[in-house]
Amino acid sequence: MLVADHLSFHYSRCDPGETPDFSFTFRLAPGECLAVSGPSGAGKSTLLNLLAGFLTPSAGRLCWLGDELCEGPSEEPSEELCEELGDRPGENEAQRESEDLVAQPPWARGMTTVFQDHNLFEHLPVWINVGLGLAPDLKLSDAQRARIVDGLADVGLGGLHDRLPGELSGGQQQRVALLRSLLRETRVLLLDEPFSGLDRDNREALWGLVRRQQAAGVAVLLVSHDPEDVDALAQRRLQLLDGRLVAT
């Protein structure tokens, strides 16, 4: 279970007792897809960056299956978080208040993030861009190479494995970036409007890859405004309003 408990962030200095700009509390089970929507500026990108470790929270806790990913000054943790960590309410309060915030770096969190920009290496062909998700050192096994070939075919890019990203359309580059993330071994998949601009056939192919990850126990947090994407993948939905997550 991924549990965020009052995971907070302030874009300017936040004095003690002042309400932070953003504060997120939610849970996400292995194999579950949670959809998050909200207006521009509500905090969707902030949420993803906090979870991935690209932003440092001002307070709160984040854990995965009992493993602390981030812990800092916070209110009394929820009963749900105490259960996840095996704590009793109030048991570690003094220790938490005496410690600075401790956060695992992004590479140690076991999370994969797909942002709206494709983040492809322009000087590397498509198959290597995808292969970096499986083996950063590119020491690929025959089975991994076969997964790349099959994956490219699944998303309509068969035969384009030697192309450079600049030789592809924007939609094709988007599919390469998504495939790289969806083939990677991960615990949590963070998706930021991943299917926008794609036609129905390609979206359905990528939905299938996401469902395959869910079946393997990967937890998925999907930021999307598209009701078809949400209906196809999500088991639960939350909305971001004024920096807080609320049920819909």
Angle at 53 between CA 50 and CA 56, to 5 degrees: 65
What is the C-alpha separation between 87 and 171, in angstroms, rounded? 47
CA gap 223, 229 in Å, rounded? 10
| Mean pLDDT across 193-215 | 89
Does residue 177 carry a pLDDT above 70? yes
Task: Report pTM.
Answer: 0.81
Q: In this model, does residue 10 exceed pLDDT 90?
A: no
> What is the predicted pLDDT for the residue at 13?
62
Structure tokens, 176: 């390469």
Evaluate if residue 87 carries a pLDDT over 70: no
Lowest mean pLDDT among 64-73, 116-125, 200-209: 64-73
State both tokens at 109: 């969190």
Please, are residues 33 and 222 in contact by the beta-carbon 8 Å criterion?
yes
C-alpha closest to that of 133 among 91, 184, 182? 184
For residues 161-176, give the mean pLDDT: 91
Q: What is the pLDDT of residue 30?
A: 96
Beta strand pairing call for 236-241 and 244-247: antiparallel
- When mean pLDDT is compared over 69-73, 98-102, 115-119, 235-239, the highest value belongs to 235-239
Average pLDDT over residues 116-135: 90
Residue 222 has pLDDT above 70, yes or no: yes
CATH 3.40.50.300 occupies which residues in the chain?
A: 111-239
Whether residue 119 is predicted with pLDDT greater than 90 in this model: the reply is: no
In this prediction, residues 173-197 reach a mean pLDDT of 90
pLDDT at 125 over 90: yes
Q: What CATH number labels 111-239?
A: 3.40.50.300
33, 224 in Cβ contact below 8 A?
Answer: no
Contacts of residue 112, Cβ cutoff 8 Å, sequence gap at least 6: 133, 181, 184, 186, 188, 189, 190
* Average pLDDT, integer, range 184-195: 92
Distances in Å between the alpha carbon of 191 and those of 2, 84, 144, 148, 167?
15, 24, 23, 20, 25
* Interval 114-141 mean pLDDT: 89
Query: 5 forms bridges with which residues in the sheet?
Result: 61
- Of the spans 99-103, 175-179, 230-234, which averages the highest pLDDT? 230-234
Mean pLDDT score of the chain: 85
Please state, in angstroms and rounded to a whole number, the distance separating the CA atoms of residues 101 and 73.
7
